[in-house]
Each structure stands twice: as C-alpha cells, then as structure tokens.
Amino acid sequence: LGLAPGDRMTVLELLAATIMASANDACHALADHAAGSEKRFVGRMNARAREMGLSGTRFANACGHDDPGLYSTARDLARLAETAMGTPVYAKLAGLEDGWISTADGGKKFPLENKNLLIGRYRGAKGVKTGFTGRAGKCLAAFAERDGNRVLLILLNAPDRWWKAEEILDAAFALGSGAPPGRP
C-alpha cells in the first residue's frame, strides 16, 4: 500500500487494504492495533484456530509470509473462508472490485484493486482471498453463488489459478444444475 510511519487510518480502511489488495503494511498495522504486537496477534490467531478446530493450521506471522512454522490444509482454509464470508464486513470488502481509501486527515489517498480477479469477471463470484508465497505458490480461496447453488473452492500451489478456478467452478455449478460438466 505504501503506508509511512505516522499515517493514521481507520480499521475499516486497513481491513479493505488487507482483504482486497493483500497490503502487508495494512495487515501489520491491524495486528499492532488489535494486540499491541504482531507476536501477540499471532498468539491470538493460533488460539482462535484451535477454538475453530483447525488442527492442521499454525500461524507464524500476521500476514502469511513464508515461515517454516506456518502451515495449513485445504480443509482448514475452507473452514476459515466460510467463517470470514459469514462476517458481513469481510464479505462486503471481499466482494468489491475496487475502491479508494485515505489517511484519517485525507492527505493521502490509495487506490485499491481486488487481487481476486474473479470478482467482477466471473458470474456469481462473491470473494474470499488470494495468496502467494515462494513456498506455497499461487493460492486462492473463492466463493461463488448461482441460482441458489453455492461453491467454495480452495486452490493451493496452482500455477494457473484463474483458469483452473473458472474451470472447477463451472463444473461444480453444472453438477448443481443437473447439466453435464462443460455445459453450464
């Protein structure tokens, strides 16, 4: 995002930057604000993961950067994505194609574009989150809804996540409609 020391923003704007644009500086600012330090925030994340029954997940930092102590499973990420999309603020932000945020004094404005390229381009796409690290590769949690059918997709280390996501979502919706795959 390009935040500088002393920049002040609302929690909602930092959430928008984190969810839509994967802005790590906004993510770090949120962690510091919520828990006083990233270390304490990560402790809270791991406690919440245990409460949710995410036994295959351990967080090592607030933003998901590569770390030998950080891991998860597709099943746990699906549960996390469902929980996030069940939160109205998260669902709204994850479903925005773009937007603008600014510092509290209005002195700096930042454009936001959703890194989830399905939003605004794939019929029925509602959100969830993209990710990329050298170890994990290109990842995607995607939620879409058509004609009352809902699909949650988790792709991990997917070299071509956008085409693959569309292909899998189309097949899932075709199954839900009774049409054979390839004929939505």
Single pTM value for the model: 0.90
Identify the structural domains of the chain with CATH numbers, from first to last.
11-177 (3.40.710.10)
| pLDDT level of residue 176 (50, 70, 90 thresholds) | confident
82 burial type by CB count under 10 A (0-12 exposed, 13-18 middle, 19+ buried) = middle
135-167 confidence digits (pLDDT tens): 999 999 999 999 999 999 999 999 999 999 999
Q: What is the pLDDT of residue 141?
A: 98
Token pair 């644009």: residue: 21
2: left (phi over 0), alpha (psi -120 to 50) or beta: left
Residues in the chain: 184
48-74 confidence digits (pLDDT tens): 999 999 999 999 999 999 999 999 999
Q: What is the pLDDT of residue 183?
A: 40
Q: What is the pLDDT of residue 94?
A: 98
